Amino acid sequence: MREDQAERWLHYVMSLIGGFLGGYAILNRSGLLGAAQTSNMINTVLNLAGGSFGDLAIRLGALVLYVSGIVATVLIPRYTRWDLKNVSLALDAAAVMILGFLPQGMDNMLALYPLFFALSVQWCTFQGCRGYASATVFSTNNLRQFATAVAAFYFGREEKMREKIKFYGATLTAFHLGVAASWPCCNLAGVKSAWICLAPLAVAGYLAAAGRSEEGVKICECRGKRAKVRGLAG
């Protein structure tokens, strides 16, 4: 598989995973979304204004975890040799394993702590491909990009928008296929349905490895050509 193909399919699979985990969180945890912080930050301020300090502490914990995941994506490449995609996939796998063991009756915000950290890392790690910026854990910006590309293509006759429409359309489709899949899974298995996400995570791991392998082949070929040129020059 070519590197660009592996990268594109990896993006779509990660979008499917993001959609599944988004649906999982909403269905199992009273409509809470584990991939973003806008609602949580609004409620944090409301808890502070209303004096609900117990809820405030829990929401601040969620915010700290989310920000910590973002910071981790800056520090890991800087201070380690770990592949950030591998780290993100491992964190997603660990998060879904933990989710399946958390009781249905526990505090819903606390129950999503594993997702707040793992999905913030995923958000900052899988940021798009083919030159297109695209999140894999929520879809508002993807919808905006898709809608503006469609408008530019049909009303402005901008042919270059065709590929953009295909990319963002496929990303939105993958994300919402994941959401749709979460419905029967959650109805059948409840909180343990998180473990089903290990299957697409395994596929993502394969695609990430395939992309690295192809990249390594290209590097070796490039080095070989340079060595040959130096030999001829000598």
Tens of pLDDT, residue by residue over 205-215, are 999 999 887 66
Q: Specify the pLDDT at position 119.
A: 98
pLDDT 10s digits, 100-121:
999 999 999 999 999 999 999 9
pLDDT at residue 3, rounded to an integer? 86
- Whether 230 shows a pLDDT value over 60: the answer reads no
| Phi, psi at 63, each rounded to 5° | -65, -45
Residue 234 within a domain: no
Domain count of the fold of the chain: 1
- Is residue 232 assigned to a domain? no
140 located within any domain: yes
The answer to the question of residue 33 being in a domain is yes
Look up the CATH number of the domain holding residue 112: 1.20.1250
Length of the chain: 234
Confidence check: pLDDT of 25 > 60 = yes
42 belongs to a structural domain: yes
Which pLDDT score, from 0 to 100, does residue 213 have? 77
Q: Is the pLDDT of residue 80 over 90?
A: yes
In a domain, 231, yes or no: no
Q: What is the mean pLDDT of residues 20-40?
A: 95
In this predicted structure, the answer to whether residue 197 has a pLDDT above a threshold of 90 is yes
Q: Enter the tokens of residue 28.
A: 């199992």
Task: Tell me, yes or no, whether 203 lies in a domain.
Answer: yes
Joined tokens for residue 216:
């390594």
As given in the structure block, the two tokens for residue 40 are 């949580």
Average confidence score pLDDT of the chain: 93
**Residue-number span of the structural domain to which 148 is assigned:** 3-222
Q: What is the C-alpha separation between 31 and 79, in angstroms, rounded?
A: 37
Asked if residue 227 is part of any domain, the answer here is no
